[in-house]
Amino acid sequence: MTNMRIERDCLGEMEIPNDRYYGIQTIRNMKVSGAAGFPVVAYPDMHKALCQIKKACAKANAGIGAMKPEIAQAIAAACGKVIAGGYEKEFPLDMWQGGGYTCVNMNVNEVIGNLANEMLTGHKGQDMVHPNTHVNMAQSTNDTIPSATHLAIAPRLDKIVCEAEKLADAFEAKAKAFEHIVKVGRTCWQDALPVTLGQEFSGFASAIRRQARALKALRPGCFELIMGGNAVGTGLGAQPGYMEAFYKAISAELGESVRPNPNLFDGFQNSDFILTVSGAVKTIAATLSKICKDLRLMSSGPRAGWMEINLPACAPGSSIMPGKINPTVPEMVIQIGHQVCGNDVAITMAIDEGELDLNVWDATFYKCLFENLQLVGEEIVILRRDCVEGITANESRCKEEAESSIALSTVVAATFGYPQGVEVAHYCEKHRCNVKDAVVAMGLMTQEQAEILVDPSLMANPEKMAPIVARFKKELGILI
């Protein structure tokens, strides 16, 4: 066997190293790319989906009599080999490519074609299985790449939804554990009415669970494809019966109900589903970032900050200050939020710049969206495992802050009227005392009444607070 083989395309012929399954078009594109130094296959989802599509196409074409059964069987077997793994080095193309990822489609066609040809003839080459004629039969880059991107999104969404539910469970477990711990609420970074630490954590859990539902609702769109539309939506190149046979084959391959876009021209012109998914991923990333900023504030200190909670210590936090521990996991999540938002902007620009009968900015879609899916899918695991599950509360610190808050004067306003509440707040500031002492000193309440009404725990429970205030006002004959 020689070390080189000859392959031909519309630009001429080229010697190809015979140990490589990729071919002439892949090598041509390797010579004019590499800006990122980051291969498309670093996120292998598209290549797997392309192989699933091409396997279904081969079966469909054989089923309608458009392809010899032995060639279709070899192509399907070759696709199975690539899906099983071990051929990653055969996909060397850089993430950033022009031409609507034609090079990616052809790279996959060449690898599958050479594998299939090898099975049938004992050698690589194009003499029995051709990458364009056979592997790409009834297809175009224009329908395979967008369709593969759709299919590739589904498993990533599934992972994020699953891990988000686990994170919500972790927050709910903390909400239960902290339900009795009262602390000062904060709005605009200023003292506000009391809440329980459990109430705050229940809000975190609810937000994450809501985002998981929103992501899950997008899943059906992953299985709406434009296969059968070929280059511009007209389906030129496919024989009668192809579409029906393809969607039956791909549904069986994936175990999902896969269907065509109801208007293929719309599907070719508009890639807004990518933007919809990106927006939902950005939303959960921004929500996680917001929660992590809260955790970072609540754990600030330990001596000069709020120190309401303790985050697990993951690593020393300073190369010079002994004992300093940083909120490393929340800060990682916040930085990922920055990147996800930036990627979403790039995707938005790519959607906007699609023109006429095809949006060709697949590289932007794929790189930015799958980076976001990867980052969010992994950060949720780390946040739950290495941060949330290990959070503990500083109950005494929370109690001290809640009892000293001047915002407790709100109960005076609710009972006696707003002006009286303001007077109590001013009295507290002037005499450096808490609200409970102030209302007694000012003669508004007895010590016993103050113990009942000016109670942060009671104020954090509106169901109990309202009837007690109403009873107190009735007893004193207060009608505002």
Supply the residues annotated as catalytic.
318
Helix 362-386 to helix 141-177 angle, to the nearest 10 degrees? 20
3-state SS of the chain is: CCCEEEEEECCEEEEEECCCCCCHHHHHHHHCCCCCCCEHHHCCHHHHHHHHHHHHHHHHHHHCCCCCHHHHHHHHHHHHHHHHCCCHHHCCCECCCCHHHHHHHHHHHHHHHHHHHHHHHCCCCCCCCCHHHHHCCCCCHHHHHHHHHHHHHHHHHHHHHHHHHHHHHHHHHHHHHCCCCEEEEEECCEEEEEEEHHHHHHHHHHHHHHHHHHHHCCHHHHHEECCCCCCCCCCCCCCCCHHHHHHHHHHHHHCCCCEECCCHHHHHHCCHHHHHHHHHHHHHHHHHHHHHHHHHHHCCCCCCCCCCEECCCCCECCCCCCCCECCHHHHHHHHHHHHHHHHHHHHHHHHHCCECCECCCHHHHHHHHHHHHHHHHHHHHHHHHHCHHHCEECHHHHHHHHHHCHHHHHHHHHHHCHHHHHHHHHHHHHHCCCHHHHHHHCCCCCHHHHHHHCCHHHHCCHHHHHHHHHHHHHHHCCCC
Residue 196 CA, chain-centre distance (Å), reads 30
Question: Among 462, 472, 464, which residue's Cα sits nearest to residue 416?
Answer: 472
Strand partners for 13: 8
Residues 6+ apart with CB under 8 A from 153: 45, 222, 277, 369, 373
Task: State the Cα–Cα distance between residues 36 and 27, nearest whole angstrom.
Answer: 17
Task: State the Cα–Cα distance between residues 233 and 235, nearest whole angstrom.
Answer: 6
Cα angle vertex 206, ends 203, 210, to 5°? 140
